[in-house]
Amino acid sequence: MKNANDKLHMDKKKYTIYQIDAFTNSKFKGNPAGVVLNAEGLSEAQMQLIARELNNSETAFLLPPDDDDCDGVIRYFTPTIEVPTCGHATIAAMYAKAMEEEIAPCLLYFKTKIGILPFEIRKTGNRYKIVMAQGDINIEAPLSEENQNTLLDGLGLNHEDMDPRCPIQIASTGHPKVMIGIKKRVTLNHLNPNLTRLKALSNIIHCNGYYVFTLDSNEQDILTHGRMFAPAIGISEDPVTGNANGPLGAYLIHNKIVDTKTDLFRFKGKQGEKIGREGIVEVTVKVIDQKPAQVKIMGDAIVIFKTIIEIP
């Protein structure tokens, strides 16, 4: 006869979890993300607890399709809240899925909180690369002078540090970020922001992410360098941010900071140097009538570990 402990063990479901470094092909670089490949059966509370336990900036949960319009559902959780979309966690999730299922190159459609998005899996030799189409582009008017002054104070910047070509404004392809262009890379790498002030400002401007970037690059194939802070959602500094570099591409075109004479604008953004987690986001922006129309990001990834957990 089976005892109570045997029955409890039999009732537990096993979940496959990956830890993936995204936007890099070197371990312990780029942006780490958790991925739960078979999240069906987990409650929202359990997803949040797993994200808190893994303690990455985001963890992605893959669920079966809920209708005939998609190949699956994907949800994203920081250690404290659910967010509508996430670039690096998407790269990680599709990479983990491709590795686990040995997927041939294909296009998958996953339902997110901002709609159904196409995710492309590419393969060269034995390595995968993931392309993510982002959501609708939205670029707001520049922040008010009062909010700009509060922001600069929180970042430890002054007006002389700012790139005059770059208005401080919120840009989004599904998860808004404040775009803050500065003149010098050395200034970027010396930032030591007051996270409490930035968190308080988020409640006023209704935007949780602050992306500080510069066009001051000495690397031929790198256009921008950046750092991203999001203390309002529990992220002091995000290593490499797809949902910042993607809308940055649209922002650069919108403000005519880069050439828009062609119908495609491509660039590479580098992030994570200051915290030793360098990664590169490859951005493509479709341009129609010299305006940004669609953003895609692409990146490498690498597996750090795979494990199984049991949850009743």
Q: Which helix (H) or strand (E) holds 47?
A: helix 44-54
Residue among 108, 240, 249 nearest 172 (CA): 249
Q: Which long-range contacts (CB under 8 A, 24 or more apart) does 46-55 make?
A: 46/311, 47/75, 47/77, 47/82, 48/77, 48/81, 48/82, 50/17, 50/77, 50/309, 51/77, 51/78, 51/79, 52/79, 52/80, 54/17, 54/19, 55/79
Residue among 243, 283, 241 nearest 266 (CA): 283
Say how far apart CA 151 and CA 166 lie, in whole Å.
Answer: 15
R_g over Cα of the chain: 20
Alpha helices for 102-241 (secondary structure H): 145-155, 185-189, 195-205
Q: Which helix (H) or strand (E) holds 248?
A: helix 242-254
Identified catalytic residue from 40, 58, 102, 146: 58
CA atoms within 13 A on the CB side of 216: 16
Catalytic residue list contains 44: no
Handedness of CA 88, 164, 157, 186 (dihedral sign): positive
Say how far apart CA 103 and CA 227 lie, in whole Å.
Answer: 33
| Backbone phi and psi for residue 219, each to the nearest 5 degrees, phi listed first | -105, 125
Q: 166: buried, middle or exposed (CB in 10 Å: 19+, 13-18, 0-12)?
A: buried
Instruction: Give me the residue label for tokens 């599904």.
Output: 174
3-state SS assignment for residue 210: strand
Q: Which residues are catalytic?
A: 58
